[in-house]
Structure 1
Amino acid sequence: MTLHALKLTARILTITSALLLAGAAHAETLRLSTLKQPGSEGEAAALKFAKLVGDRTEGRIEIKVYPASQLGDWTEVYEQVMQGAVDMAMQPLATADDKRLAITWFPYAFTNYDTAKQSLSPGGAVFGIVSEAISSKGLTPLGVYGEGMGGAGFAKAVENPADPELKRNLKVRVWPGGTTHRVLLERFGFNTATLPWAELYTGMQTGVVDGQIGGTAGMALESFKDITKTWVQYNDHFEGDWFIVNSEKYASLPEADQKILLEAAQEVSAARFEQVKAADAKHLETMKAAGIEVVTFDDATLEKLATVARKDVWPQIADELGAETLGQLKSSLGIN
């Protein structure tokens, strides 16, 4: 090879290396925090999201997932995403500074997986309400990772749980600040008591309370399997974690990459909606195998319970959302 050719080859290699380094230097790294534990389905979903984004942006964006609250408690991370100190998160929404976000657990905003998926997707009522509420905080929602439909677990038998008119001598724990479900349970014929989460197991074990509400069958198996005698699948709310991103960071990305992030989050969310239905069913079967009485309802009964809740309970808890937000929810459901 001639000296000229060698010099030309070297120059080409130098230019190529410079271009590669420039491309690497311009790669965007986004940090995503989640409560999900390593090896869990939730962490796998976050990693899937990161891979989809990395592949579809051809490496322009790398999402680094931090599981198990490595970047801080989820309430702290929520603030950090608002401030831009953390780019993204997959976690619950902090409702302390905006009551509209109570919509995420508002009783019977939907009653089944199909209506939940529709309402919690872009263009859906709850997704729109959440988007409006958190946009002023500097946050943009991209999707929802579903944990499952909510229900109630009891340390004893429950008489005819499908009858909302029956008065029962059972006391059910609601979380501090859980006004929505306190009113719901009392309308369904139960007594209620406020108890911190840390005291709930002992409370059910000793009879301070007879049951608990606010979680899914899977969560009940994790924490209360040995003391749960009856599980009632009320489908009172849908438990989920939200993919959220700092709005300023999101807006700084090219429009094509913004679309990729949204579509990737929606793809993961849609897949989870299919999985979570099967996961809930599996958890109910696990309960039955463990000797727990499992009560489920057909669609007609669920609609009956929802109708009672919307007619009698919603007016009493309207302040939890505010008149405008409640009106949006009613409109989405065709309720006057």
Structure 2
Amino acid sequence: MAVHSLKLTARTLAVSFALLLAGAAHAETLRLSTLKQPGSEGAAAAEKFAKLVAERTQGRVEVKVYPASQLGDWTEVYEQVMQGAVDMAMQPLATADDKRLAITWFPYAFTNYDTAKQSLSPGGAVFGIVSAAIADKGLTPLGVYGEGMGGAGFAKAVEAPADPEAKRNLKVRVWPGGTTHRVLLERFGFNTATLPWAELYTGMQTGVVDGQIGGTAGMALESFKDITKTWVQYNDHFEGDWFIINSERYAGLPEADQKILLEAAQEVSAERFEEVKEADQRHLETMRTAGIEVVTFDDATLEKLAAVARKDVWPQIAGELGEETLGQLKTSLGLN
């Protein structure tokens, strides 16, 4: 009897092992590229997304994360996801081929974390605009990993930063092609100059420019902490990386698994929206501790700045989005 039982047990184990192998053989593996470095919060978020997908699909879908741009520069990866050579990415969107994607940094599309979360989630205005813009490229968005609210850093003091009518003898760097923020800053009383990223630190250090815009407090601490004297938290845009997947690859998955991927990305995104608010506050406190003057605004002041930008700046930069896309954004904000 013991021998018979052992044979049955061995046979059962063999069958179970064979079934496991069969399941593994049919598992879908999706390669996900991200710029985030191993050990960073962003890389951990990508890994959590992968874990959620594996658990909820019961191993039918495996997401393999490649951090630190292991699969190539993010602009190259963007093309590779379009072509299907890479399945997924968590990174910025490449805007060169479609001006509508300028919506991801369009000034004052929203002013706080709640409106950003609403607009950057499925059913939200910006999420919908991006979905339509990248659908033609064979891409499907699943969620947004937030980096934080944008602001401006200066090597000098800033006079009356809350007053959009003040005229200041300060020159602020905007990135090449950064028409949206060039017009915004000039309306807010600054002078502007275009400067490559690689020259920005030296430019601020030597006085070629007095400040920079286009990033978050955390990014400023990483790159310009020792030369930043003033940080103004304008909340001019929300910096984020997008979970994107090749549309054909996505459509090839069972509908239930598509839903799991979307829900997992949204869960990670929603958690990050809560975390990023706290992260921004920590970065601002780190700045204060380092002796940097930090200027923040209450909601009423932010809405005032937004109103000025939407009234005076948006008409000048409408071509960056196109009239149809700008109309959609205005409708979402009740401005039409």
> What interval of TM-score do these two structures reach, taking the shorter chain for normalisation?
over 0.9
Q: Cα RMSD (Å) of the superposition? A: 1.4
In structure 2, the residue corresponding to 1:317 is in which secondary structure?
Answer: helix
Query: Separation in 1 of the partners of 2:260 and 2:305?
Result: 40
Q: CA deviation at 1:14?
A: 4.5
Residues 42-68 of structure 1 deviation map (CA, whole Å, 9 limit, x = unaligned): 000000101111111111111110000
Matched, 1:322 2:296: no
Unpaired runs of at least 5, structure 2 = none
Query: Separation in 1 of the partners of 2:216 and 2:93?
Result: 17
Query: Separation in 2 of the partners of 1:278 and 1:90?
Result: 21
Query: Separation in 2 of the partners of 1:150 and 1:3?
Result: 71
- 1:97-108 to 2 correspondences below 5 Å: 97-108=97-108
Deviates more, 1:180-189 or 1:53-62: 53-62
Query: Separation in 2 of the partners of 1:195 and 1:212?
Result: 10
Query: Separation in 2 of the partners of 1:6 and 1:265?
Result: 46
Question: 1:335 corresponds to which residue?
Answer: 335
Query: Separation in 2 of the partners of 1:209 and 1:259?
Result: 48
Query: Separation in 1 of the partners of 2:224 and 2:17?
Result: 58
Query: Separation in 2 of the partners of 1:3 and 1:335?
Result: 80
- 1:136-285 to 2 correspondences below 5 Å: 136-285=136-285
Query: Separation in 2 of the partners of 1:9 and 1:197?
Result: 65
Deviates more, 1:27-36 or 1:11-20: 11-20
Question: 2:42 corresponds to which residue?
Answer: 42
Q: CA deviation at 1:11?
A: 5.4
| TM-score, normalisation: structure 1 | 0.97
Distance 1:12-1:239 versus aligned 2 partners, 3 A rule: same
In structure 2, the residue corresponding to 1:147 is in which secondary structure?
Answer: strand
Distance 1:181-1:26 versus aligned 2 partners, 3 A rule: same
Matched, 1:33 2:33: yes
**Quick one: which amino acid aligns to residue 263 of structure 2?**
E
**Quick one: which amino acid aligns to residue 73 of structure 1?**
D
**Quick one: which amino acid aligns to residue 117 of structure 2?**
K
Question: 1:84 corresponds to which residue?
Answer: 84
Query: Separation in 2 of the partners of 1:7 and 1:303?
Result: 75
Q: CA deviation at 1:9?
A: 6.2
Query: Separation in 2 of the partners of 1:245 and 1:53?
Result: 14
| TM-score, normalisation: structure 2 | 0.97
Question: 1:126 corresponds to which residue?
Answer: 126
Distance 1:180-1:3 versus aligned 2 partners, 3 A rule: same
**Quick one: which amino acid aligns to residue 206 of structure 2?**
T
Query: Separation in 1 of the partners of 2:159 and 2:16?
Result: 75
Query: Separation in 2 of the partners of 1:196 and 1:16?
Result: 59
Unpaired runs of at least 5, structure 1 = none
Q: CA deviation at 1:206?
A: 0.3
Distance 1:22-1:317 versus aligned 2 partners, 3 A rule: same
Question: 2:135 corresponds to which residue?
Answer: 135
Residues 250-309 of structure 1 deviation map (CA, whole Å, 9 limit, x = unaligned): 111111111110000000000000000000001000101111100000000000000000
Question: 1:286 corresponds to which residue?
Answer: 286
**Quick one: which amino acid aligns to residue 157 of structure 2?**
A
Residues 90-148 of structure 1 deviation map (CA, whole Å, 9 limit, x = unaligned): 00000000000000000000000000000000000000000000011010000000000
Question: 1:62 corresponds to which residue?
Answer: 62
Query: Separation in 1 of the partners of 2:5 and 2:292?
Result: 80
Query: Separation in 1 of the partners of 2:261 and 2:195?
Result: 39
In structure 1, the residue corresponding to 2:152 is in which secondary structure?
Answer: strand
Question: 1:312 corresponds to which residue?
Answer: 312
Distance 1:193-1:14 versus aligned 2 partners, 3 A rule: same
Q: Which runs of 4+ in 1 moved over 3 A?
A: 1-17
Q: CA deviation at 1:24?
A: 1.1
Distance 1:237-1:2 versus aligned 2 partners, 3 A rule: closer
Query: Separation in 2 of the partners of 1:304 and 1:2?
Result: 83
In structure 1, the residue corresponding to 2:140 is in which secondary structure?
Answer: strand
